[in-house]
Structure 1
Amino acid sequence: MNDDLAQLPLGEGPLRGLVVIDMTRVVAGPYCTMMLADLGATVIKIENPAEPDYVRDFPPFVQGEQGKASAFFAQYNRHKLGVSLDLKSEGGRRLLRELVAKADILVENFRPGTMARMGLDYETLKPCNPRLIYVSISGFGQTGPNAKRPAYDNSAQATGGLWSINGAKGQAPLRVGTIIGDLSASFYATIAALAAVVDMRKTGLGQQVDVAQQDSVVTLTEHAIVNYTVDGIVGEPLGNDHPFVRPYGQYACKDGFVFFGAYTDKFWREACRLFGEPDLVTDTEIDTMAKRFDPDVYARRVQPIVQRWCAGRTKAELEALAGDIIPVTPIKTIAEVVEDPHLRAREMFVSTQVDGAAVQAFGSPMKLSRTPVQTQGGAPAFGQHNEVVLKGWLGVDAADYQRFVAEGVI
């Protein structure tokens, strides 16, 4: 934990006083550092003066004080301090080394080898700060035959197996409809960074954290790996079906669809009672979970029953009838999600500022009773905190600062 923080704005939360150098862009990395910022860390976002984080140009846009501003950028960069550094210049690299010497964590998501070519890899920076936790997020990791390949989220979904098992049964596979490779890598990087912080506080030593998007996606494939390693089953798209649990999936109702998951014997009994057919509980063809799991029995007997229960009711009616007792939930549109009173009560939508404009974005699912997560905060303008960080915290004198500006270092 830093002792020299008087010149830096500090966050509130369990990570207050932890300083993070954020050298990431897009989502796989910025989301990790934003979670650390939400938990109270002071995050310094480094951007190239010639090529800022290009999601600043991603839609949707709001009208800010200086023109259009990206709400997408705001969603993944709240609380951060913005600093511009040209790391292709020796002056920029020197300033970064000085920042690293005073920081606790550095997070980067360049292709493996890029940081080493600039003399900013972990082994080179470690002597500057033996306590440094150096988090590297990449498509395929820092080691292995594919390490230096370029990658996007889709690369991870494709090579991690998730793409191949997603989609409608009997049709071509579909990518998962969100950047799950980027997001899952950010989650694992955050967990690993915090584990390294715990170790660093005990030992006084940092370490490198290596998180790959492909690795992260592999862990999201649920049953698929063990199905193959144990029984030789190669997973394929199943649509809204589960490979063996039934009834457990999407069912049509009057105004859309619901998820119905009353597959255990207890929940099945409750469902039969709630929907006015208690005699089905003792029907010897479908009276046990094992029998209902049988594909033929499910298709011939169970599925028509559940379809009948749902077809004549709306999502709201089904939720009101059964939602408190069995797993029956509406499949909500994003508009319905944003207006969900339960999510509102849990403060899952917050106002974030970007260039003076308010953006409603998702909040944090982390709920801590004594040191609550802080989600109210703005995303930085490009280079907004150069003076605060470089002059105030790092101690760059006025003449050098102006020279760096003139030379395009910052």
Structure 2
Amino acid sequence: MSERLLDGIRVLDFTQFLAGPYCSQFLADMGAEVIKVENLKSGGDFVRNAQPREPEGGLSMYFGNLNRNKKGVALDLKSAGGKELFAKLVASADVLVENMRPGVMAKLGFGYEACRRLNPALIFASVSGFGQYGPNSYRPGYDLIAQAMGGSMSITGWPGSEPTRAGMAIGDLMAGQNLCIAICASLYKRRETGKGQQIDVALVDSIFSGMEAKIMNYLYGGKMPEKTGNRYITSAPYDSYRAKDDYYVIASGTDAHFIKFSAGMGMPELARDPRFCDTPSRNQNWEALKQIINDWSSDKTAAECVALIDSWGIPAAPIYNCAQACADANITQVREMLVKVPRPHDGREGTLTVIGNPIKMSEYPCQYTKGAPLLGEDNASIFRALGFSDEQLAAYRAQGAIN
């Protein structure tokens, strides 16, 4: 299937680290021509040097996972030649994605207003720690900063423990997805108006928006959310539980669930017990209920507990580590969450394994056709297509504007 949702859309990806590349990876998987524009003088995206590395060519798979399906050019944007080449790219593009600190693009001569003069239809998409305006906008922002100031660290961890960040870089990932949503919506509207716009997504805002019920409990319930470990404060049993060999989780969200659950355990009287007869009572007496469930689990393996509870129609699951998640055929094979991409053009044959796109679509599925680019890999083909001759490109190379 050759046609894809974003066929014909050109995206300039002037990003590094995680949030920006994660956004543009989604666009590339859906068929956009994504051109990763890297700083030649700094050696490109910082994570080209990050672990882990694949053994044969030493390529960073942190970089390789986030930049599959993209083309690559490398420019010295502080040089006159680099600015000329980048201006041509901007004029040819539908979208520019950048995650520099606010003000950096303007200093380079390619802030939103300058780019809009070059291309009024351009969608200029920025992601940063604190956004493009406001008293904190000048501050550098990384995922840890976003989790700290967005509120999520204050509710993550066990009661009495120090504030804890999520194990994933949720600030970067949420911001990248938010930016992708805004870009796709802007492309849709542009078909009507012919005009682009500036998009401004902040990591801190993205975390704050994900606090949903916690912020509502504070604003309308007068309650300061606290750390509750794996327990969900509005349902019980909704937590992790101990079997004889490992932990597992139960996500019982309703009274009807609990009636089936208590009957399955051979303790139907629990559903009539005043401590557990409805959701508010179970939430208040969650510790006593947890001990009952842990006692029931104590002579069973986690796998046995999950199988039994699942057979009663109650959501339950093992707690996977990375090896177990990768070995789950439903995740990695049926749902194609591990996929193969061709190696970069580094003189070696074969493929590399990367994480698949979680979006599944019937008519226009995501495709994986290209590995992450080498630094400046597509300089010649992209700039030739923009009208530059081989002689001109040779001159730019001599100036150090491209590699």
| Percent sequence identity over aligned pairs | 40
Moved over 4 A (4+): none
Alignment correspondent of 1:22: 13
Q: Is 1:258 matched with 2:245?
A: no
Give the secondary-structure state (helix, strand or coil) at the position aligned to 1:69: coil
**Within the alignment, does 1:182 sit opposite 2:175 as a pair?**
no
The residue that corresponds to 1:55 in the other structure is: 47
Q: CA deviation at 1:11?
A: 7.5
Matched, 1:267 2:267: no
| Aligned 1:11-410 pairs, distance under 5 A | 12-51=3-42, 52-64=44-56, 67-294=57-284, 297-300=285-288, 302-324=289-311, 325-343=313-331, 344-355=333-344, 356=348, 358-391=351-384, 393-410=385-402
Deviation per CA, 1:119-154, whole angstroms, max 9, x where unpaired? 101111112111100000111000101111112111
The answer to whether the 8 Å contact 2:73/2:378 transfers is: yes
CA distance in 2, matches of 1:83, 1:337: 35
Asked if the contact 2:50/2:63 (under 8 Å) is kept, the reply is yes
Q: Give the Cα separation in 1 of the matches to 2:211 and 2:35.
A: 34
User: Which amino acid in the other structure matches residue 321 of structure 2?
Assistant: T
d(CA) in 2 for partners of 1:13, 1:341: 26
Give ranges in structure 1 of 5+ residues lacking alignment. Answer: 1-9
In structure 2, what residue type is equivalent to 1:349? L
My pick for the range that moved more, 55-64 or 31-40, is 55-64
TM-score between the two structures when normalised by the length of structure 2: 0.94
Deviation readout 1:333-365 (Å, 9 max, x if unpaired): 111100112112111111234444633221111
* Cα distance in 2, alignment partners of residues 267 and 376 from structure 1: 45
Letter in 2 for 1:60: P
The alpha-carbon deviation at position 284 of structure 1 amounts to 4.1
Question: Deviation per CA, 1:158-199, whole angstroms, max 9, x where unpaired?
Answer: 111111211111111111112111111100000000010011
Indicate conservation of the 8 Å contact 1:354/1:381, yes or no. Answer: no
CA distance in 2, matches of 1:231, 1:262: 24
Q: TM-score, normalised by structure 1?
A: 0.92
How many residues of Structure 1 are paired with residues of Structure 2 in the alignment? 395
1:36-82 C-alpha deviation (Å, 9 max, x unpaired)? 00001000000111111010110111134xx4111111110000001
**Aligned 8 A contact 1:349 1:360 in 2:** yes
CA distance in 1, matches of 2:389, 2:235: 66
* C-alpha distance after superposition, 1:283-307 (max 9, x if no partner): 344222232122xx3323x222221
Is this contact kept in 1: 2:53–2:60, CA < 8 A? Answer: yes
Contact 1:354–1:380 (CA<8 Å) still a contact in 2? no
Tell me the CA shift for residue 12 of structure 1.
Answer: 4.5
SS in 2 for 1:145: coil
Decide which moves more: 95-104 or 262-271.
262-271
RMSD after superposition: 1.7
Cα distance in 1, alignment partners of residues 68 and 357 from structure 2: 12
Structure 2 counterpart of 1:395, one-letter code: G
Distance between the aligned counterparts of 1:158 and 1:292, measured in 2? 31
CA distance in 2, matches of 1:26, 1:91: 26
Give the AA of the match of 1:377: K
Tell me if the contact between 1:254 and 1:313 (Cα under 8 Å) persists in the aligned partners.
yes
What's the CA shift for 1:282? 3.1
Aligned to 1:20, the other structure's residue is in SS state strand
Q: 1:336 to 1:134 in 2, by over 3 A?
A: same
Letter in structure 2 aligned against 1:310: S
- What's the secondary structure of 1:61's corresponding residue? coil
CA distance in 2, matches of 1:28, 1:191: 13
| Greater mean alpha carbon deviation, residues 116-125 or residues 249-258 | 249-258
